[in-house]
Structure 1
């Protein structure tokens, strides 16, 4: 077995066994310092693996926290039938709040309410923070010092994004027409670091925060 083939097998096995995405640095640390591959070598192996798994039921996906093997998105409707639990359901208010935070962060609760024209339920803000999709980034220096909210690394991993730059343009986002939207969400990585980008969101825009599902749970349970 050649050195390159051995390196590829180790990295492939590590990604299949891991319960979280792995970065290039983390993959490199699998090896002793004397035989540790370079970033370029690890990157080449990842490119080769992605090509080898192309067209199969499982893909190698790069997200914010690193790389992971996951079930292809288009297969999620079939794979999800392996489990009896019902998919999570989120209200229009929940999705609009999440979308506003994602597109206009850092943003205060009062600013969200001003754009939506209605108050934001405390339970919505609590759920967003409990799921670790949203966190307090700081406080605005105005009377009362309201909290500034932004998305987290877990938000990016959950919605299959490498960065906030991969969020769809507002013009491409579908209008929320139904009061209740069903989303199939499967836990991805558990990274704690956050990332922030401030972007203007016209108050007239109606938006939805329908995410790209990350159906990697099927692979983890097999």
Structure 2
């Protein structure tokens, strides 16, 4: 007869037996330990399971952040949760070390520009993307972005045939360090700086004139 797995013992979230200062420190340690161990951003509801409903998680995160000042890593809000990230100032050092790091996703430059367009214009159909780029965006590009976990199907478009639209995922936010879609760089700023048009034109010699043509 197969043995049932043992249930995890309940965690004391209140810690009422500890003095206030030690209780707060234990909550901080728990939160940081879970975020450090997690492979994905840790949402608020997960942290609530280990510190209880009455603990102010925002203040816990703030205090942890203060303690990490001067360290080469920090806690950042990404993808609807929190995650440990190396500070940007050390990016060149990490690259120079040639230490293996996990890339955001194994996608091509073309797929990256398609992802950028989906990020700004979602929900967007493949036909819409083809109009933006001035040439057909193949199913393979969308499939690669799906496989990388960056996009998923959105609501059906109200256009003839009711094709599916595409939207970005929480993994997209986490991989590129955005807390929400509101953190995407302003598209007009990118266009004014020539970065958006440059990213597309460098890849395929395309312009980014969809908005002007639609007007």
TM-score band (shorter)?
Answer: 0.7 to 0.9
The reply on whether 1:4 has 2:24 as its aligned counterpart is: yes
1:107-186 equivalences under 5 Å are 107-173=124-190, 174=195, 175-176=198-199, 177-179=201-203
CA distance in 2, matches of 1:137, 1:77: 37
For the pair shown, the structure with the greater C-alpha radius of gyration is 2
Per-residue Cα deviation, 1:138-179 (whole angstroms, up to 9, x for no partner): 222333221111111111111111111110011222122533
Q: Contact 2:178–2:184 at 8 Å: present in 1 too?
A: yes
CA distance in 2, matches of 1:18, 1:85: 14
Per-residue Cα deviation, 1:106-135 (whole angstroms, up to 9, x for no partner): 111111111211111221111011111111
Aligned to 1:21: 41
Q: Contact 1:24–1:43 at 8 Å: present in 2 too?
A: no
TM-score by length of 1: 0.71
User: Which structure is higher in RCO with an 8 Å CA cutoff and minimum separation 6?
Assistant: 1
TM-score by length of 2: 0.73
Where structure 2 has 5 or more consecutive residues not aligned to the other structure, the ranges are 1-20
The structure where helix makes up a greater share of residues is 2
CA RMSD in angstroms, aligned pairs only: 2.6
**Would you identify which runs of 4 or more consecutive aligned residues in structure 1 move more than 4 Å?**
84-89
Q: Contact 1:24–1:39 at 8 Å: present in 2 too?
A: no
Per-residue Cα deviation, 1:12-48 (whole angstroms, up to 9, x for no partner): 22222222221222112024xxxx25252x2211101
